[in-house]
Structure 1
Amino acid sequence: MSAAPKTFSVLPPTGSPGPLWLRGLARLPLPVLRAAGWLLGAALYGLAPKRRAVAVRNLALCFPHASAAQRRAWLWQTFRHFGQAFVDRVWLWHAPPEVVARRVRLEGAWQVLAAPGPVVVFAPHFVGLDAAWTRLTQAIAREWAGVYAPQVNERLDRWVWQGRHRFGQPKIMSRREGLRGLARALRAGAAIYLLPDMDFGAAQSVFVPFFGVAAATVTSLPRLAALAGAPVVAVVARLDRRGYRVWVGPPWAQYPSGDDEADARRMNAELEAWIAEAPGQYHWLHRRFKTRPPGQPPAY
């Protein structure tokens, strides 16, 4: 997530509660906010046919043996959870800190992230990404860094940028900085929040299976870990009725291995197992298979 987007130049103080109307919305009961998110998801389902078609294709490619009814259920869950996670940002970024701490529960080996020294956090694109980031930066006082993709809408861009700065003083870099900014942060001993499970094109990628389909997979996870001698720790966020469960796994053993392709295969295999537990909470709206191996037809 470094330099601020061009849409504004001055950030509010760390922990700024935000506008009064957002603070008011953030105090609504969670079931009310989740109902609003349900409505948003339903609207997106109906009004975004291109994204719906992408998700349909992704689910068909990744779960060819699932029934059509099961894939339709996962499709609807994808949009519903997306809408609910979007609305949840209101309380994540504007509710009192104790509300965030109560609703976003840390599980697993999360204390390992408090140890001094660099660490690479593998954070796949589940709907709870912002919940995990917000809670970890609240609970663990250390240097944090990540990558930010600017939003098209200026007001939304400002809101997301400020929200991700709510706790601590994280270094959030634009995607244009690439791996250089993250490498500098790692060398300085930071924990970097890395989201490498999307199709970023053929450059610096290898084609390895993702649910049995060749997928262009960037090798930033093993390369950054090797660069700083940093452990890799996975963070998986699950949306539930009480808020979110954020599971932090132990450091991966014998990773990186020195073989980028083998390490990319392992990353995808680990991710597949987590997705299989809750397919409807993964970000299927992204064209994960848009880059094809030479000679293969387009996936979409």
Structure 2
Amino acid sequence: MKETLALWLLKGLGRLPLSVGRGIGGFIGWLMWLSGGRSARITRENLAACQPHITGRARERLVRRSLTETGKTVAEAAAVWARSWAWLQRHIVAVEGDETMKAALASGAGVLVLAPHLGNWEVVAPFLASYARLTALYQPPRQAGLDQLILAGRSKDNIDMAPTNRRGVSQLLKALKRGEIVGILPDQVPEPGNGGEVAPFFGRPALTMTLVHSLVQRTGCRVVSVFAQRVPKGFKMVVLPADERIYSEDVTESVTGLNLSVETCVLRAPTQYQWEYRRFRRAPTEV
């Protein structure tokens, strides 16, 4: 019953004008903050760890705004899945770093895009696919109906979805060697056995994926960070060069550069980061 209701809600949100969907999503996020549940608790813990200079009422305002923005992200994602690239293109009101993306592609070595959980990451894939063919990792949700909705929404023109297994990694390697784009969500905690190294994230030790390091070393690809910042009337796409340490042969140095790349993005729009994610699980208390 819950899955059916969630699917109806997402499909309904996907048909609404963007401003209306944002309003409803923001209200849902505000209710998440007001209820003081798990998402609010984890958001407070993460902000206390990563932004210790923000305290008291200022931190609580940030908690509220963060959860409100997360609610908007859900509503927007439903719209992105349901609508065409032409619709989304009309809502991309600005692009920062277009020359960075084009220069990376011009290298011919393939481009690995770090797309952190910032702003609306569902906007990033169709945006990237407007430059070149995109292959992105995809881990299906447990609910079959939701999986069908998301996979159909993401599998659009010029986009290939790769499973989170060896076959999927092989797809990523082949795409990079063809000079195409590969997209990865870099701030997810890797599952046991999937390759992880501890490195600082906002000064806290965090288990960090080594997949990016492996792909860079095996292909010589270029790496950039991309996020879709929520702005009035739509989205501002931001493309930034990755921290140079990400190219290091040393895995610890490389994953440190990965986390620094994510931090640089987050600091551009801290209220739009997904602070309710348990980023520091499976990590030691000290580096």
> Common fold, TM-score beyond 0.5?
yes
Tell me which residue corresponds to 1:8. Answer: none
Alpha carbons 1:93, 1:166 under 8 Å: kept: no
Is residue 2:112 matched to residue 1:123?
no
2:86 corresponds, among 98, 119, 124, to: 98
Is residue 2:163 matched to residue 1:174?
yes
Which shows bigger deviation, 35-44 or 58-67?
35-44
| Distance in 2 of aligned mates of 1:277 and 1:249 | 11
Tell me which residue corresponds to 1:31. Answer: 19
| Distance in 2 of aligned mates of 1:151 and 1:201 | 15
Which shows bigger deviation, 209-218 or 87-96?
87-96
Per-residue CA distance 1:104-148 (angstroms, 9 max, x = gap): 2432133336534421111111131111112222x22x3211111
Per-residue CA distance 1:84-113 (angstroms, 9 max, x = gap): 111112332333543311212432133336
Secondary structure of 2:183's partner? strand
Tell me which residue corresponds to 1:3. Answer: none
| Distance in 2 of aligned mates of 1:226 and 1:134 | 27
Give the AA of the match of 2:218: L
TM-score normalized with structure 2 length? 0.84
2:196 corresponds, among 188, 200, 205, to: 205
Report the aligned-residue RMSD.
2.7
Give the AA of the match of 1:218: M
Tell me which residue corresponds to 1:54. Answer: 42
Alpha carbons 1:123, 1:235 under 8 Å: kept: yes
Is residue 2:267 matched to residue 1:276?
yes
Tell me which residue corresponds to 2:224. Answer: 233
Gap regions ≥5 residues in structure 1: 1-18
Tell me which residue corresponds to 1:112. Answer: 103
Q: 1:25 to 1:217 in 2, by over 3 A?
A: closer
Secondary structure of 2:267's partner? helix
1:136 corresponds, among 117, 123, 128, to: 128
TM-score normalized with structure 1 length? 0.80
| Distance in 2 of aligned mates of 1:61 and 1:255 | 24
Tell me which residue corresponds to 1:195. Answer: 185
Secondary structure of 2:140's partner? coil
Secondary structure of 1:249's partner? strand
Which shows bigger deviation, 73-82 or 39-48?
39-48
2:60 corresponds, among 72, 97, 114, to: 72
| Distance in 1 of aligned mates of 2:77 and 2:172 | 25
Q: 1:45 to 1:153 in 2, by over 3 A?
A: farther
Gap regions ≥5 residues in structure 2: 1-7
Tell me which residue corresponds to 2:3. Answer: none
- Count of residues paired in the alignment: 272
1:160 corresponds, among 150, 163, 176, to: 150
Secondary structure of 1:33's partner? helix
Alpha carbons 1:119, 1:225 under 8 Å: kept: no
